[in-house]
Amino acid sequence: MGKTLFDKVWDAHVVDTIDNGPQILYIDKHLIHEVTSPQAFNELEERNIPVFRPDQIVATADHNTPTINQHLPIKDELSRKQLEQLSENCKKNNITLYELGHKYNGIVHVMAPELGITQPGMTIVCGDSHTSTHGAFGTIAFGIGTSQVAQVFASQCLLLTKPKSLRVSVNGKLKNGVLPKDVILYIISKIGTNAGTGFFCEYAGDVFENMSMEGRMTVCNMSIEMGARGGMIAPDETTFEYVKGRKFAPKGEAFDKKVVYWKTLPTDNNAVFDKEYHFDAEDIEPMLTYGTNPGMGIKISEFIPETSDASFEKALDYMNFKKGETLIDKPINFVFIGSCTNSRIEDFRIAANYIKGKQKADNVTAWLVPGSKQVEAQIIEEGLKAIFDDAGFELRQPGCSACLAMNDDKIPQGEYCVSTSNRNFEGRQGQGARTILASPLMAAATAVEGKIIDITKQLN
């Protein structure tokens, strides 16, 4: 029987196997940030254990950083202390840190790929569930808890049981106005938020083959929202082209040698998956969520389902939506374009392309938060900032921002926010805030119209 992409990368990293137990998996890169690392550093210190491979760790500050006036001291004392703690821990342990204001600072899942830290065939972990993003490169990448952060600090390894394999194939031609975000929201709406639990997912089919690396990252990013620890896409010429020439990518002959290896990684034709789903690209439309988990999504042309179930009704009650209604024409006062799902340059190009020559609706507060300092610089360099400024949008500084509202970027109680982020949980974007997940195009259109519209009517 052939091997899957996942098998090949996993098997290459197994150090040892415990009888009737988990395996010891070697981790190539460990990414850390301010929120889930301090307790792990404390634990090592308390137990007098040194950091085993500091050169394989890269740190950034992102979750708890302000998105305005980053050059000034942080006002919130707890946030400031948490960032100071990260700097101190990295310094003490010789770990590379791209702190606030550094030209490489950014959301961990945006900055690592753009610096070429993320490469095909690697194992990458981070104390953040959206680490699945890096799977876009044909990488085994997944989120871990803080105890596991400490384990990787101590040994560069984790004890894990190999997950089962799942493949989601989408073939055909995507309709006008359907973006990678819509593809993944569609998949989750079809299979549910726990269909992937216990599995590692591979996305296959020509829809993903034809996607840019930015699009693939958006898709893999949300693998965890269907319960899968990670999602992967086979590396190909698009991947190699993206990695080539980046700061930490191998250079010259070393790069060519890697490419030869990377080309051996795609799933063998005779490999068998534990579970498979197939979808038709033509069935996908721009998507929106109406509830309080990412699986509660509908196509723009659809109505909220008429399900009778306590959890479903609790969610609709929270959102103040009714069964059987459409989301079209719902007035919206907040729009957020950002997060590790959709804050890469391509996302802002899409938004700018739509916004150009239009004006933001007066009722809307629209925050555009780039994923990294490099994305921010590119937005300015490509003239996108001028488009956003002219249209009344606010371009802020990089960070996780209103995706989880740990900093001051909170959506007020009861307000709807059309958001390009990844989670519409109760209170995720602020206490009582109501999140509607969508693509950057849908978000931009909402900001211009001041309400949700059927974007396909404008495009066709």
Partner 1 sequence: MEKFKTLTATAIPLDIENVDTDQIIPARFLKVTNRDGFGQNLFRDWRFQKDGSVNTNFVLNQPQFDGPILVAGDNFGCGSSREHAAWALTDYGFKVIVSSFFADIFKGNALNNGLLPVQVSPEFLKELMTTIQADPRTKITVDLEAQTIGVDGSNHSEAFEIDAYKKTCMINGYDDIDYLLSKKETIEAFEKTLQAY
Subset of 351-410 contacting partner 1 (CB under 8 A): 404-406
Residues in 282-301 that interact with partner 1 by CB under 8 A: 293
The number of beta carbons lying within 10 Å of the beta carbon of residue 253 is 8
Q: Which two tokens stand for residue 380?
A: 């300015």
8 A C-beta contact, residue 308 and residue 339? no
Residues facing 130 on adjacent strands: none
Report the site for partner 1 in 311-340 (rule: CB under 8 A). Answer: 311, 314
The letter for the amino acid at 419 is S
Q: Which of 5, 31, 32, 35 binds partner 1 (CB under 8 A)?
A: 35
| Residue of 69, 96, 176, 194 that binds partner 1 (CB under 8 A) | 194
The answer to whether 197 contacts partner 1 (rule: CB under 8 A) is yes
Task: Give 416's strand partners.
Answer: 434
Q: Which residues lie across from 230 on neighbouring strands?
A: 200
Which one of residues 205, 227, 235, 297 is an interface residue with partner 1 (CB under 8 A)?
Answer: 227
Out of 263, 432, 450, 456, name the contact with partner 1 by CB under 8 A.
432
How many residues bind to partner 1 according to rule CB under 8 A?
Answer: 71
CA 389/CA 243 separation, integer angstroms: 32
Question: Judged by CB under 8 A, which stretch of 8-16, 177-185, 297-305, 387-395 contacts partner 1?
Answer: 8-16
Q: What is the DSSP letter of 451?
A: B
Residue 162 or residue 175: which is nearer to partner 1 going by CB? Answer: 162
Q: Which stretch binds partner 1 (CB under 8 A): 168-176, 344-352, 386-394, 425-433?
A: 425-433
Q: Which stretch binds partner 1 (CB under 8 A): 157-165, 176-184, 376-384, 386-394?
A: 157-165
Strands lying side by side in the sheet with 96-98:
96-98, 57-60, 29-32, 123-126, 140-143
| Among 54, 116, 198, 305, contact with partner 1 (rule: CB under 8 A) | 198
> Which is closer to partner 1, CB of 145 or CB of 245?
145
Q: Give me the residue label for tokens 């106005």.
A: 177
Q: How far apart are CA 183 and CA 398, in angstroms?
A: 25
Q: How far is the CB of 150 from partner 1 (least distance, A)?
A: 6
CA–CA dist 128, 315 (Å, integer): 25
Q: Which of 97, 150, 379, 443 binds partner 1 (CB under 8 A)?
A: 150
Q: Could you tell me how many residues make up the chain?
A: 460
What is the Cα–Cα distance from 83 to 72, expressed in whole angstroms? 14
Residue found by looking up tokens 């791209």 in the block: 98
Residues contributing to the annotated binding site for [4Fe-4S] cluster: 340, 400, 403
- 18: its two tokens: 């415990």
**Interface pattern 73-102 for partner 1 (x via CB under 8 A):** ---x-xx-xx--x-----------------
Q: Which residues contact 318 (CB under 8 A, 6 or more apart)?
A: 292, 426, 434
CA angle 442, 434, 223 (to 5 degrees): 65
The CB density around residue 277, as the number of other CB atoms within 10 Å, is 17
CB within 8 A of 238, min separation 6: which ones?
211, 212, 213, 216
**Pair 338, 404: CB distance under 8 Å:** no
| x/- letters, 107..146, toward partner 1 (CB under 8 A) | --------------xx----xxx-x-----------xxxx
Question: Which span sits near partner 1 by CB under 8 A: 105-113, 150-158, 266-274, 331-339?
Answer: 150-158
Quick check: 30 binds partner 1 (CB under 8 A)?
no
Q: How far is the CB of 77 from partner 1 (least distance, A)?
A: 9
Binding-site positions: 340, 400, 403
How far is residue 321's CA from residue 280's CA, in Å, rounded to a whole number? 29
Q: Does 157 bind partner 1 (CB under 8 A)?
A: yes
Q: Which stretch binds partner 1 (CB under 8 A): 42-50, 363-371, 379-387, 448-456?
A: 42-50
Residues 229-248 that bind partner 1 (CB under 8 A): 229
Using CB under 8 A, pick the residue from 3, 26, 268, 392 that binds partner 1.
26
By CB under 8 A, name the one of 307, 363, 431, 458 that touches partner 1: 431
- Is 459 a binder of partner 1 (CB under 8 A)? no
| Least distance CB 445 / partner 1 (angstroms) | 27
